[in-house]
Amino acid sequence: MSDVKRADVYLFGDSHAASISVPPGSAPACFNFGYGADSFFDMNQKVSYLIREGYLREGGTVVVEVDLHLFSDYREQLNNNDISGIYNNSPNAWINLAFPLWGDKRVLSPQYLLKPPRKPDMKKVVSLQSRGDTARFRSRLRQQLWFDFHLNALAFDDLQELMDSCDANNIRFIAVVYPLHPLYKQLIGSVVNYDKLMAQVKAQVGDHDFLDLSDSLKQSKYFRDQDHLNAAGSEAFLDLVAPLLSR
């Protein structure tokens, strides 16, 4: 917990947010609190911690990833409460750290304790000529957004709780949909009605700022795989978000 820094803006999300590299000395001061496989439940734990400890104050801003896969049953069941719960002093978090085979699926994600996420190669550029890269496009789709995909009600509840907490403390909430590789966005559209589902997410966000960047970066040079940005993509993302942060 000692790595948390005071900032004006905090980024939250899973590995998509965690891929964003914020330059030192950025203005406004920004801290990336994203972590691979975080769910809205995890983000709630972290926001509560930041408010309680005085890091996140009235007038501060949170930028929260609201990508479609965060509303999947897959993500809701495999959250990181065994890690993020430490920020809220959750007994379950401490128990799960000591006994990683205990706990229910809303609490436990032991694969992240036994095998921590690898640090990504931010210099990698996805190649549509690579069979491995294109195969990953389809395996990712099958894993999270297949034909029976629906928006998980618990994820909506957790997102609403997160927004309510920000509103109660006069903290600005900005919802952001991260860029998708054009081919992956096309594949998603072949199995689900992306626009209809995202409209439901936007309706949930309500009067809060909502920025959909899913179509914003059209070239492979910004991506290290189907939906994760590389170093160039991270820089482009910050340029896209900056005008909203300056309002």
- Give the pLDDT score at 65: 98
pLDDT at position 2, please? 43
Distance CA 192, CA 142 (A): 12
In a domain, 146, yes or no: no
Task: Give the Cα separation of 62 and 156 in Å (integer).
Answer: 17
Per-residue model confidence (pLDDT) at position 80: 74
The DSSP annotation for 35-75 comes to -TT--HHHHHHHHHHHHHTTSS-TT-EEEEE--GGGGSHHH
The answer as to whether 140 is a domain residue is no
pLDDT tens digits for range 16-40: 999 999 988 888 999 999 988 899 9
Positions of the chain with pLDDT lower than 70, given as ranges: 1-3, 82, 90-118
Compute how many other C-beta atoms are within 10 angstroms of the C-beta atom of residue 60.
20
Indicate the SS3 state at residue 6: coil
Is residue 19 domain-resident? yes
Residues paired with 177 in a beta bridge: 212
Split into its structural domains, the chain has a count of 1
234: domain CATH number? Answer: 3.40.50
Contact 174, 60 (CB under 8 A): no
Q: Which pLDDT value is given to residue 175?
A: 98
Domain range for residue 70? 9-120+151-178+194-216+230-245
Say what the pLDDT of residue 144 is. 82
Quick check: is 239 in a domain? yes
Within a domain: 241: yes
pLDDT of residue 108: 37
For residue 34, being part of any structural domain is answered with yes
pLDDT of residue 227: 95
Q: Is residue 78 within 8 Å of 37, Cβ to Cβ?
A: yes
- What is the model's pLDDT at position 147? 73
In a domain? residue 48? yes
Residue 238, domain member (yes or no): yes
